[in-house]
Structure 1
Amino acid sequence: MNVLTIYTHPNHRSLSYAFLQKVILGSSENAHITEVQVLDLYEEGFDPVLVFNENKRRRDMHIDPKLEKYREQIRWADKIVFVYPIWWGRPPAMLLGYIDQMFASNFAYRDNGGLLPEGLLKGKSAVCISTMKGPALYPLYWLGNAHKILMRKALLQYVGIRKVKFFEFGSMESPKGRHEKKLNQVYQYFKAIAQ
């Protein structure tokens, strides 16, 4: 299994970065995982800004040569792991800009005239590891589960990725946040997964 981990946090001293390290460590100890690639969007200098004009059309985004190396990473991956904080009830704008450009028509999905498109990333799975300052139940009760609906239904299932696992950790700025327990949970998951 090939694992692509997309890390989206500007600080390598963050808790998100600690979770990234647990993904890497657990994966390195798992005989089912062949290789892990890490895409650090901030370190990469990924440009999240969409530009469409007379020279750059939205319908051609799936063949934009600037994005080919990122498309190749997605093609290569069996499992796509997203590691990010939740800010204002949703992933960072940097990650959303990546999603806007990478999960494009004729690469991630194809309109087929029906109610829903054909997902072109079938057979892949995804894991979302997110942290937030507020309590873990805040997104569920206060925001109507918007974060999970965005990632699972509006994005991943739309492009054909049906198997999605969430680690949504709350109260992460509290000394009672049980950081080590949660870091170990992610480590153990990646150490053990078989697909």
Structure 2
Amino acid sequence: MKMLVIYTYPNHKSLNYAFLQKVIRGSNENPNIKELKVLDLYEEDFDPLLVFNEEKRRRDMHTDSATEKYRNQISWADKIVLIYPIWWGRPPAMLLGYIDQLFSSDFAYRDKKGLFPEGLLKGKSVVCVSTMKGPVHYPFLWLNNAHKVLMKRALFNFVGIKKVKFFEFGNMESPKGNQIKKLEKIYHYFKNIDR
């Protein structure tokens, strides 16, 4: 299995970075994971802004040379892991900008007759590891599960990725947030994952 980890948090002395380290450590100890690549969007200085003009047209996003290496990473990966905080009930703008640019027509999906497009990223799987200040059930009870609906149904299912697993960790700024236990849970998951 080839795995691409996309890390979206601006601080390397954070809990999110600790989750990244546990993903890397567990994956490196897993014989099922043959190759691992990490993309740190902040360290990469990824520009999340969409620009459309006479030279840069929306219909040509799938051939944009500025994002070619990122498309190649997604094509290469069997499994995509996203590590990010949930801010205002959704992923950070940096990650959403990455998604806007990379999951484009004729790369991630193809329009066809009917209600839904043809997903072009079939066979891949995704794991979302997210943290939030609020309680773990906040997105479900207060926001009608908007985060999972956005990521799974509006994005990944749309492009053909049906296998999506979520780790939503709440109360992460609380001394009673069980951070160490949750970090170990992620480490063991990636150490033992087989697909």
Q: Could you state the TM-score of these two structures normalised by the residue count of structure 2?
A: 0.99
Indicate the SS of the match to 2:61. Answer: helix
2-structure distance, mates of 1:56, 1:176 = 49
Indicate the SS of the match to 2:43. Answer: helix
Matched with 2:103 is 103
Matched with 1:31 is 31
Answering whether residue 73 of structure 2 is matched by residue 73 of structure 1, we say yes
Indicate the SS of the match to 1:133. Answer: coil
The alpha-carbon deviation at position 98 of structure 1 amounts to 0.1
Indicate the SS of the match to 1:44. Answer: coil
Cα offsets for 1:22-66 (capped at 9, x unmatched): 100000010000011000000000000000011111000000001
Identity %: 72
The alpha-carbon deviation at position 102 of structure 1 amounts to 0.2
Answering whether residue 64 of structure 2 is matched by residue 60 of structure 1, we say no
Superposed structure 1 runs of 4+ greater than 4 Å apart? none
1-structure distance, mates of 2:35, 2:181 = 26
The alpha-carbon deviation at position 112 of structure 1 amounts to 0.8
Matched with 1:18 is 18
Indicate the SS of the match to 1:167. Answer: strand
2-structure distance, mates of 1:77, 1:8 = 18
Q: Which amino acid aligns with 1:30?
A: N
2-structure distance, mates of 1:36, 1:63 = 25
1-structure distance, mates of 2:88, 2:15 = 17
Matched with 2:152 is 152
Cα offsets for 1:90-136 (capped at 9, x unmatched): 00000000000000000000001111000000000000000000000
The count of corresponding residues between Structure 1 and Structure 2 is: 195
Indicate the SS of the match to 2:166. Answer: strand
RMSD (CA atoms) = 0.4
Q: Could you state the TM-score of these two structures normalised by the residue count of structure 1?
A: 0.99
Indicate the SS of the match to 2:55. Answer: coil
Matched with 1:82 is 82
- Identify unmatched segments of 5+ residues in structure 1: none
Matched with 1:51 is 51
